[in-house]
Amino acid sequence: MSISTSRNRRLLVFAGLALFALLLSGCAADAPQDTLQPAGPNAREARDLWNLVFPIAVVIFVIVEFLLVFAVIRFRAKPGREASQFHGNTKVEVILTVIPALILAGISVPTIKSIFELAEEPTGNVLNVTVVAHQFWWEYQYPDLGIVTANELHIPVDVPVRIRLEGQPTDLVDGTSEVIHSFWVPRLGGKQDIVPGRLNLITLAADEPGTYMGQCTEYCGLGHAEMRLLVEAHEQADFDDWVTDLKDTPESTDDLVAQGEDLFIQGQFAGGPACSSCHTADATADAPNAGPNLAGFATRMTFAGAIFENNEANLISWLRDPPGMKEGAKMPNLQLTEEQLTALVAYLQSLE
């Protein structure tokens, strides 16, 4: 066996193993962002269209590849064989044009139907939410409820959520232009781009309470891979309680919490201005902020673009060095002392 033949066989084995590993990676039993496990009517509409179109595409692929391989083998070069020369076959060309056209026309009917149904504005009991994308976090405004929150979107079950996706033209931190993001919660609905200075619309709905993961799917900079989101679906009564709690301003008599609140509002740090120059802890504040609204922060499961579990250890590490914790984070290292860290963590954990 020649060296080149042996090398080619090793490459084929390696390619086969790589392909097999790739196939196995799609066999997760618990995939939180599996589009084929819809949990809402809009996601089911997309899944049903996939179930119709994909088998047709597979059949066409198999037929075409079979004919291609057959032709390559059957009519391969042989000693003494000379390829026939001709200038076209009208009958074959017509067949190869008409059949694909009919298949595409047939597929277009349910496709267009699904597109119009998904784009249709819901009526009746609808929750309106405005989503503003930032590098690298999500802002959620509930105009009918008068509240603002971030990263974790709360919705009631069995209620269509009409989402306005607003692209922010200018970044509030450094004044640079924002970039394109894409909002995607696969188990509840499709994805939609968020373009600076433009408005797009999408509708989501959840069948049952639970946590549904999503993320940005348009490359938007160093923090793109860590720009995630969570959707928390509640029963209507629990959702109403969440809104009420978020509007209430927490009061604490704890001295450490009071110290942390004072630092948050007007603290002077070696590495930057007070926290309140970028954040607020008031869910009813309608002024834009450079950083996420922190109202109800202690009740959130995650923080920093839904990346880190919301616990004391992670929070301390984050406040100590945000850019070191998350690539591309625009929150600066404020060079906090240990005393300031302890007080700020106590204050943030009191925001229920």
Task: Note whether residue 83 is domain-resident.
Answer: no
pLDDT single digits (tens) 237-260: 999 999 999 988 777 778 899 998
Task: Note whether residue 156 is domain-resident.
Answer: yes
Question: How many domains does the chain divide into?
Answer: 2
Task: Note whether residue 77 is domain-resident.
Answer: no
pLDDT single digits (tens) 332-350: 899 999 999 999 999 999 9
Using only C-alpha atoms, what is the Rg of the chain?
27
Mean pLDDT of 271-280: 87
265 and 241 in one domain? Answer: no
Give the pLDDT score at 175.
66
Q: What is the percent of the chain where pLDDT is above 70?
A: 95
227 and 132 in one domain? Answer: yes
User: Distances in Å between the alpha carbon of 131 and those of 174, 179, 181, 194, 307?
Assistant: 21, 15, 11, 9, 18
Residues 6+ apart with CB under 8 A from 89: none
pLDDT single digits (tens) 316-334: 999 999 999 998 888 889 9
Task: Note whether residue 274 is domain-resident.
Answer: yes
Task: Note whether residue 222 is domain-resident.
Answer: yes
Mean pLDDT of 140-150: 94
197 and 136 in one domain? Answer: yes
Statement: residue 176 has pLDDT above 80: no
* Distance, CA of 37 to CA of 187 (rounded, Å): 6
240 and 152 in one domain? Answer: yes
Statement: residue 1 has pLDDT above 60: no
pTM of the model as a whole: 0.84
234 and 135 in one domain? Answer: yes
Task: Note whether residue 236 is domain-resident.
Answer: yes
Average pLDDT, the chain: 88
260 and 241 in one domain? Answer: no
* Distance, CA of 21 to CA of 339 (rounded, Å): 49
* Distance, CA of 158 to CA of 141 (rounded, Å): 20
Q: Which domain covers residue 273, as residue numbers?
A: 255-348
241 and 141 in one domain? Answer: yes
Q: How confident is the model at residue 27 (pLDDT cuts 50, 70, 90)?
A: low
Domain boundary among the residues 247, 271, 293 is at 247
206 and 308 in one domain? Answer: no
Residues 322 and 315: beta-carbon distance below 8 Å:
no
Statement: residue 106 has pLDDT above 60: yes
276 and 173 in one domain? Answer: no
Statement: residue 74 has pLDDT above 80: yes
224 and 166 in one domain? Answer: yes
* Distance, CA of 145 to CA of 56 (rounded, Å): 46
340 and 260 in one domain? Answer: yes
Statement: residue 152 has pLDDT above 90: yes
243 and 131 in one domain? Answer: yes
Statement: residue 4 has pLDDT above 80: no
Whichever domain contains 177, its CATH number is 2.60.40.420
Task: Note whether residue 265 is domain-resident.
Answer: yes
Domain boundary among the residues 247, 269, 291 is at 247
Domain boundary among the residues 199, 223, 247 is at 247
DSSP character for 298? G
Task: Note whether residue 298 is domain-resident.
Answer: yes
Give the pLDDT score at 151.
93
